[in-house]
Structure 1
Amino acid sequence: MSEGYLTTHVLDTARGCPAAGISIALYRISGNSHTKIAEMVTNNDGRTDSPILPKGKMSAGEYELIFVCGPYLDAHKMTGGAVKFLDTIPIRFGVDDEAAHYHVPLLLSPYGYSTYRGS
């Protein structure tokens, strides 16, 4: 059994604070198939209350995190009109070491975002 796990968090780089209340879904990708394996919401620290993929559940392969950011951006009056530049942000990534800790954060602003493999 693997001991690897997956964590994430969202930082609002425009406001300089954690982004609370963002819905996040995790999918396992296999060819054209997407299987939802977890769904959580960020807390006041911009993190999920537990790993989005806990120890013992990680396996090598392709995954996708879907961050639903539109409602958060609306709530903080960071959208310019009826059509948002950013609303739902997908981040697809691969896991090749199922014993490792993968941390995939989202750095969010109304008109851009970035991510990286953290620790």
Structure 2
Amino acid sequence: MPGLSIHVVDVAGGRVAQGMRVEVRYAEGEGCLQPLADGPVSASGLLEDERLARRFAPGRVQVRFHVAHWYRQAGSVLPQPPFLDVVVFDFGLADPGAHYHLPFKCTPWGYSCFRGGA
């Protein structure tokens, strides 16, 4: 199953980051990044958008995770400016037939994002 999936977990709280805004932009080949998906993380921890479940031509993807806003909404007290605000993760899609799964694990002070298996 080709496509892209994004799973967001608050490892500081041991829960999925339900409600965190995630933006996805895509550029085929060397083109300019264009908006692809934008929405909140679901109760399952996924950015659920049917536009991510398709075959992508080789190109670039940029994902923006709105970390500080989510933690503030969840009641965390963060400094101003926050250590992490909007985390931007850029990566390449080389194989149109592959599924690219991005587990994003975060705290207010750090994150990990990588290509996982899904």
* CA distance in structure 2 between the partners assigned to 1:92 and 1:16 by the alignment: 26
More divergent stretch after superposition (7-16 vs 23-32): 23-32
Pairing 1:37–2:36 present: yes
Task: Give 1:49 deviation, angstroms.
Answer: 2.6
Q: Structure 1 residues 51, 111: closer, same or farther in 2, change over 3 A? A: farther
* CA distance in structure 2 between the partners assigned to 1:28 and 1:5 by the alignment: 12
User: What is the count of residue pairs matched by the alignment?
Assistant: 116
Alignment of 1:49-88 (within 5 A): 49-50=48-49, 53-56=52-55, 58-88=56-86
- Specify the alignment match of 1:5 in structure 2: 3
Task: Give 1:82 deviation, angstroms.
Answer: 2.4
Aligned counterpart in structure 2 of residue 108 of structure 1, from 101, 106, 109: 106
- Specify the alignment match of 2:24 in structure 1: 26
If the length of structure 2 is used for normalisation, what is the TM-score?
A: 0.86
Stretches of 4+ moved more than 3 A in 1? Answer: 29-32
Task: Give 1:70 deviation, angstroms.
Answer: 1.8
If the length of structure 1 is used for normalisation, what is the TM-score?
A: 0.86
Pairing 1:48–2:56 present: no
Unpaired runs of 5+ residues, structure 2, are: none
Q: Structure 1 residues 97, 32: closer, same or farther in 2, change over 3 A? A: closer
Task: Give 1:54 deviation, angstroms.
Answer: 1.5
Q: Deviations over 1:9-65 (max 9, x none)?
A: 100010011110011111124658321122121011211234551224x11111111
- Specify the alignment match of 1:17 in structure 2: 15
